[in-house]
Amino acid sequence: MVTKEKTISVPRAAELIGMTRSAVNYWIKTKKLHARRSGRNYSVPVKELSLFLKSTGRKIPPELENNNFNPVFKAYRHCWDYWKDSDHGNGCNGCVVSDIQLETCFTAKNSSRSYCTSSCFECSYYQDIYFPRIQFIYQHNYPAAVLKGLFFWGANSRWSKICKIPEKDFPGMGVEQVIDEKSLGMVISDIKKLELGESVQPANRILLRNGPEGGLKTNISLFPLNEPPGTFLMLAVPRG
């Protein structure tokens, strides 16, 4: 079976490596960078772009470093860098996120020192940088969520339904707000084991905080993810 080689457009290549389109087109026209012609446009093989960058001593973006050439995402940027040329960026100075150089800004959304007060789920920074990396959870038939450390990055509609929490509220939500205190220790223990490279069995009869009527019993499975690094997929199967 022949595997189709992964290619990206010239504008996408320029965006990833922080260069102009004309610079990338110049490399192609001078045959420094191999590309394929498609009508009036060019497509650049991901492997060729990585090799070109390496041979010229340029930095290879994280999106291109994976030899499996998984889906290409926008390069990770801190939120204050993302907003620096906009009116919104005027409030980043003094925000706890930029002050302590916090990598994942939405984990500080409940802090009184956080500048951003709008919904993270509706934020263009979250939608550009984080959401594409976890969008696969919407293909799961089971309730699914992604978390890193003790904070959720997002959850699909099925997870939202069993927890009775709006999807838009999950980015930055702590696991203690979702997992009942009777089961929280077990879940945290499994997360720690996975971070150490150990395997864990599905956690049976985990209680979710399921509204004022009490906890919902579920079976929960945790799976470490390669992308985004350090994150975990959490799947829930409601019982009874």
Q: What is the pLDDT of residues 32-65, one digit of tens each?
A: 888 888 777 888 888 888 888 888 888 888 777 6
What is the Cα–Cα distance from 162 to 110, expressed in whole angstroms?
Answer: 23
DSSP for 173-225?
Answer: -BGGGTB-HHHHHHHHHHHHHHHTT---PPEEEEEE--STT--EEEEEEEEE-
pLDDT above 50 for 2 = no
- DSSP strand pairing (36-38 vs 216-224): unpaired
DSSP category for residue 22: H
Domains and CATH numbers, the chain: 7-65 (1.10.1660), 79-132 (no CATH), 137-238 (3.30.450.20)
pLDDT in tens, 115-169: 988 888 889 899 888 998 898 898 888 999 999 989 999 999 999 998 899 999 9
Q: Which long-range contacts (CB under 8 A, 24 or more apart) does 78-83 make?
A: 78/103, 78/105, 79/105, 79/116, 79/125, 82/125, 82/128, 82/129, 83/125
Average pLDDT, integer, range 2-27: 82
The model carries a pTM of 0.69
Please check the confidence at residue 68 and state whether its pLDDT lies above 50: no
